[in-house]
Structure 1
Amino acid sequence: MKSVYSDFYGAKFHCDPLLRLYHSKAEAQKLSKLLIPRRDYSLKQDVARANCTITCLCEHGKIRQARKLFEVMPERDVISWTALISGYMKSGLVGEARELFDRVDAEKNGVTWTAMISGYLKMKRVAEAEKLFHEMPDKNVVAWNTMIEWYVQSGEIDQALLLFERMGERNILSWNTVISGLVSCGRVEEARGIFDQMSVRNVISWNILISGLSRFGKVDEARLLFDRMPERSVVSWNAMITGFMQNGELEKGRRLFDEMPGKNVISWTAVISGYTQHGRSEEALRMFYEMNRSLRVRPNEGTFASVLGACSDFAGLVEGLQLHQVISKTIYQESEFVISSLMNMYAKCGVVAMARKVFDSGLRRCRDLVCWNSMISAYAHHGCGRDAIIVFEEMRRRGFKPNEVTYVGLLSACSYAGLVQEGLDYFEMLTRNKSIKVREEHYTCIIDLYGRAGRVKEAFELMEKLAGRASVNSWCTLLLGCKIHGNDEIGKQVAEKLMDEETEGNAGTYALVSSLHAARGKTTKAGMVKLRMKQEGLKKQPGCSWIDVGNKFHVFAVGDRCNEFLIFNLHEKMKNIGDGDMLLDSE
């Protein structure tokens, strides 16, 4: 009697797991046709090869053919059962998997139980996964780790810790998962405590803790750990460099970057992003050009987004245009992240029409919510409220659901354009939407909307309704409205409220309160606020402007006398050409 496996042998199908990956769906279908039985079989079959075929069919979605082959096998082992149960679970067929798992003749081991538990968790059927885990006769380390990892990913770190404490045998993955979970919840000290208990650590253990300490401002402690590492990977160097740059330790970060033996794109991007984040945009651009000159590393979407952010910060339109040309020749022209950064750059450089062009043509057909939000924000930035509303409505017509960021941009646009009623209508729409949480920024936008329109009393009433939820930023916005429209009565109450609040470290708040008192002629009170500001060592950042001359930027700040000689020269030249209307005051 001919066996189905004689056809199988003739197919020369390799059972090596790596080689299985090269078989397409078409090949899997062809194989399944060969292997589906056409008659009863009594010959002893090759179980190992059948198991391999079941696995392959399941991987390519041919679960029914896999089941048919499974049912005609005269002999099965635990691998046969596990392969098909796993296939059902991966295909989302939980009922079929459970039916097979519960059969009296089912052969199960730790892998089978873990496959069921893992499948339940992926389907978010947590109660069933927990029940099965507790029923598991011999829990192996993989099953424990599966449950712990799920709790960590779900933010239930205390539950993960309880399981971790109950584990009889732990491997390196158990330790690393718990440390990572604690770090992600901000419980860095506890993570450090568990790290110190480890008898054996791998490079991942060190990297997790170094990243966590850096993220929460403990960069010096992270550096001590970094120096103690027996072996460092590229990830270790990048984690430490990123920690320095994000915490404003730019010189230390740059020194470490220069010492790094094998830099990759993440290393370069960490430094570029750090410079951009801390307002050193020209250095960010220089690093980008240096990276390109090295010819060993190509930028990724994070690099492009950071450099475009640098161009936005100092309105470097020429550099932004050059970057746009470079991006258009790469695969990142289709990245929504990069497209959004391009739009933001053009908007901040004052070329909102170009931002719209990028949005419309885009560099790809499909736009995501980030791009819609960027376009709305671009219009808001330029006071084009009506245009922002048109984009918002078009976005909704196309089936996109606005999020918190969308409404911040939209309400800002209404505020800047003086569209009071429209802004209030959209705010009401936001409050009715139960899927979006109304944030501090939304209230600040409405306060600003009222303040700009001179409706200071309504803004004050809204602030009082918010009670303890109102932020210092919202009160400052209201105070500015009082100052602009000369509402001394409410302005006085707001100023007192602000001075009672925790304003430590906020020079802008003190300066605003002082200027309001000065505008009301209360010079003594204004002086007292300035004195308090001085005692706390605070200084308001002066306003500045800049111009690009010969590819070099010249910055002019209020009260800055660094460019005095340059200004005097310009004054003399204007005097010589007789442009009297533009001469500086001789005094």
Structure 2
Amino acid sequence: MKALLASLLESSLNSLQKLCVTQCYAIKCGYIADVYVSNRILDSYSKFGFLSHAHKLFDEMCQRDSVSWNTMISGYTSCGKLEDAWCLFKSMRRSGSNVDGYSFSRLLKGIAFGKRFDLGQLVHGLVIKRGYECNVYVGSSLVDMYAKCERVEDAYEAFQDISDPNSVSWNALIAGFVQVRDIEMAFWLLSSMEMNDAMIMDGGSFAPLLTLLDDPVLCNLTKQVHAKVLKLGLEDEITICNAMINSYADCGLVLDAKRVFDGLGGLKDLITWNSMLTAFSKHELKESAFELFIEMQRSWIETDVYTYTGILSACSGEEYQFFGESLHGLVIKKGLEQVTSVSNALVSMYIQFPTGAMKGPLSLFESLKSKDLVSWNSILTGLSQNSFSEDAVKFFSYLRSSNIEVDDYAFSAVLRSCSDLATLQLGQQIHALAIKSSFESNEFVTSSLILMYSKCGVIENARKCFEQISSKHSSTIAWNTMILGYAQHGSGQVSLDLFSQMCNQNVKLDHVTFTAILTACSHTGLVEEGLEFLNSMEPVYKIQPRMEHYAAAVDLLGRAGLVKKAKELIESMPLNPDPMVLKIFLGACRACGEIEMATQVANHLLEIEPEDHFTYVLLSHMYSDLKKWEKKARVKKMMKERGVKKVPGWSWIEIKNKVYTFNAEDRSNPLCQEIYLMIEDLNQEMQWLDSDNWFDQASLLGLNHF
């Protein structure tokens, strides 16, 4: 009869109805009083999370042994209900039931999961009192508990108390030092484990270590671990391979990650596919990511939330808009549109599309029922990046009124919006909030503060913010922002001095650093210095020049009137010049009166960007300067035929916490008559400057930089 009941329990598994039927059958046959039968039913209830039914049966049991108590404790710890498990453990001790090694190990598992160091110490004391500290199972649980609570010294002491540690004990200790990112100790433990012939190394030994190897400077260590894995014949161990793919990808070795992926053949699980997909997306290998995703669909691989967040992050740019919108449809079909992480990925994707501005992302954001901080930060960043600065400020206030705590990304986004609006007083208020929230030393917030004060014209405050962190953290972002701030204020020499300090203090240089320093040279007329920086980027600093660097160099030469040298630079570029470079060159040609060269560049721009008003307007102004009215009329006619309209440029100024906007020949201000009279007076005062002494006066006033 017991064999029949056991068979029923095996077949019922996670079906609550079948388990209840089995229990009723045991009651009817009178076997429920048998502690073995009751324990089997109790175990089935607990394993599949039916704890209320399990506890009801537990309370009704005439006899209980240590297995009964341990089963209930294990059930509660597995479901994350540590307090209930702790209460049961205390009741077990009071009942006089035998507390054994299994009782301690199951309870310690729950304590480790909950990171309750205080309870762990109490249990450790009881373990010592009962003499179980040398027990390999209890000792391993103690090591795991201390490790997860980040008390690695205590974990190491508990490990040394174990009389004969097994691979579980070693792996738990290694994982603890991995958690606190102590690479040296973690690898020393792995070597010690390897020297112990009795130890069998497995996925638990290598997989945690590989999570530490997430930087290009550690790529050789990743290769050494891979070699060790191959030597031990663990190349088919799925947990190791998944960690290996992530490690190679984090180190920038995507091809090596792909080799590990391909080597698994039919052993791949969903984590393997997702890891490779994320690796491609992270390194902008979009085509490879799309091909892999399509292969998953064709292979009938069951996708999950991580699959969609990974592939959606690869959909940025106009050429991938159709694919991204198709993925959105697939997300809806799968019923994942209300999953917060997927919806966040969709918002980020739509923000990066060139068309539609913020309508799509805002619609997605509003429809999401469960918004988290990432949701708010995504929409704040999108509004800030797409020049919806006033809306970004409003959404920041909405975020503050919610129950979600504001973080450094939210502060950075709203401060960038304050920079674009040049609203100094609002920026100062948010600065005060950042100080109140203890974010004033955060590198992202500080960089945004530097940018905000720089754009608002208060470079002294920008420098004060910079000084707060430069001595404590070598933040590349903060240095770059400060260099650019001085560059835009015409203090190019200060920017150069800061660059020298960066090099002396071994602050990591990046492509933004050189964009900033080239801009500084451009705004200060330091032609030779700027070209030297450009030419030394790759051979000296190992940073390959990008389009923005060449654009800054063309601007540098154009401002100095060296149009022919600018043309030579464009022709020698290893990249095809984009519209940004050509527009800068066109502006330089117009300023220097190079009409023939300007016409050639303008015609090319009109071919590749026929809808952009910039080229038409600049050509029109150039023809006006040269009094070529027919050609100017032809440009205006072309604009009209193509439906291109000039976008007016607006300026604004903040006075007494109020922003005033205006454009050229604006008459909307109620004080416009007084304003224009003042302008006329100023013009009359400047008439005494003739063409000979104007440049001397301009030089004295610092106007020659503009």
The TM tier, using the shorter chain, reads: 0.7 to 0.9
Q: Deviations over 1:388-440 (max 9, x none)?
A: 22333333343434332222222212221223344345445546524222233
Q: Within 5 Å, give how 1:142-157 maps onto structure 2.
A: 142-153=239-250, 154=252, 156=254
In the TM superposition, residue 206 of structure 1 has moved relative to its aligned partner by: 3.7
| Amino acid paired to 2:553 | I
Name the SS for the 1:402 alignment partner: coil
Q: Answer yes or no: is the 8 Å Cα contact 1:384–1:417 preserved in 2.
A: yes
Q: Answer yes or no: is the 8 Å Cα contact 1:373–1:409 preserved in 2.
A: yes
Q: Answer yes or no: is the 8 Å Cα contact 1:110–1:138 preserved in 2.
A: no
In the TM superposition, residue 342 of structure 1 has moved relative to its aligned partner by: 0.8
Partner Cα distance (2:546, 2:587) in 1: 21
Q: Answer yes or no: is the 8 Å Cα contact 2:412–2:444 preserved in 1.
A: yes
Who is 2:651 aligned against?
545
**Worse-superposed segment, 84-93 or 239-248:** 84-93
1:193 paired to 2:294: yes
Partner Cα distance (1:411, 1:149) in 2: 36
Q: Answer yes or no: is the 8 Å Cα contact 1:88–1:97 preserved in 2.
A: no
Who is 2:333 aligned against?
228
In the TM superposition, residue 194 of structure 1 has moved relative to its aligned partner by: 4.2
In the TM superposition, residue 339 of structure 1 has moved relative to its aligned partner by: 0.7
Partner Cα distance (1:511, 1:47) in 2: 80
Who is 2:310 aligned against?
208
1:268 paired to 2:376: yes
Q: Deviations over 1:229-265 (max 9, x none)?
A: 4353322333333334443442333333333323333
Partner Cα distance (1:180, 1:323) in 2: 35
| Amino acid paired to 1:101 | E
Partner Cα distance (1:348, 1:163) in 2: 48
Who is 2:98 aligned against?
none
List runs of 5+ in structure 1 lacking aligned partners: 1-8, 35-42
Name the SS for the 1:124 alignment partner: helix
Name the SS for the 1:555 alignment partner: strand
In the TM superposition, residue 181 of structure 1 has moved relative to its aligned partner by: 3.4
| Amino acid paired to 2:135 | D
**Worse-superposed segment, 151-160 or 385-394:** 151-160
Who is 1:329 aligned against?
436
In the TM superposition, residue 370 of structure 1 has moved relative to its aligned partner by: 1.5
1:174 paired to 2:272: yes
Q: Answer yes or no: is the 8 Å Cα contact 2:408–2:444 preserved in 1.
A: yes
* Residue number among 263, 277, 282 corresponding to 2:385 in the alignment: 277
Distance 1:581 1:148, change over 3 A: closer
In the TM superposition, residue 213 of structure 1 has moved relative to its aligned partner by: 4.1
Length, aligned pairs only: 552
Who is 2:15 aligned against?
none
Q: Within 5 Å, give how 1:555-574 maps onto structure 2.
A: 555-558=661-664, 566-567=668-669, 569-570=670-671
Q: Deviations over 1:287-344 (max 9, x none)?
A: 222333x242332111111111111112111211111111111121121111110110
Q: Within 5 Å, give how 1:81-480 maps onto structure 2.
A: 91=184, 94=187, 97=190, 100-101=193-194, 104-109=197-202, 111-112=204-205, 124-126=221-223, 129=226, 132-133=229-230, 136=233, 139-153=236-250, 154=252, 156=254, 160=258, 163=261, 166-184=264-282, 185-187=285-287, 189-196=290-297, 197-198=299-300, 200-213=302-315, 216-218=320-322, 219-230=324-335, 232-247=338-353, 248-292=356-400, 294-361=401-468, 365-366=472-473, 368-427=475-534, 429-430=536-537, 432-466=539-573, 469-480=576-587
| Amino acid paired to 2:391 | E
Distance 1:162 1:349, change over 3 A: same
List runs of 5+ in structure 2 lacking aligned partners: 1-100, 684-706
Partner Cα distance (2:209, 2:396) in 1: 49
**Worse-superposed segment, 471-480 or 447-456:** 471-480
In the TM superposition, residue 103 of structure 1 has moved relative to its aligned partner by: 5.9
Distance 1:109 1:15, change over 3 A: farther
TM-score normalized by structure 2? Answer: 0.65
Name the SS for the 2:647 alignment partner: coil
TM-score normalized by structure 1? Answer: 0.77
Q: Deviations over 1:144-197 (max 9, x none)?
A: 423343454445269538735844344332332233334442135325424535
| Amino acid paired to 2:363 | R
Q: Deviations over 1:114-167 (max 9, x none)?
A: 678878997634265157348626834323423343454445269538735844
| Amino acid paired to 2:486 | Y
Partner Cα distance (1:456, 1:423) in 2: 15
Q: Answer yes or no: is the 8 Å Cα contact 2:186–2:209 preserved in 1.
A: no
Partner Cα distance (1:388, 1:56) in 2: 51
In the TM superposition, residue 356 of structure 1 has moved relative to its aligned partner by: 1.8
Q: Answer yes or no: is the 8 Å Cα contact 1:269–1:303 preserved in 2.
A: yes
Q: Answer yes or no: is the 8 Å Cα contact 2:152–2:177 preserved in 1.
A: no
Distance 1:548 1:251, change over 3 A: same
RMSD: 4.6
Partner Cα distance (1:309, 1:487) in 2: 38
Distance 1:148 1:421, change over 3 A: closer
Q: Answer yes or no: is the 8 Å Cα contact 1:574–1:582 preserved in 2.
A: no
Q: Answer yes or no: is the 8 Å Cα contact 1:148–1:164 preserved in 2.
A: no
| Amino acid paired to 1:149 | N
| Amino acid paired to 1:190 | E
Q: What percent of counterpart residues are identical? A: 25
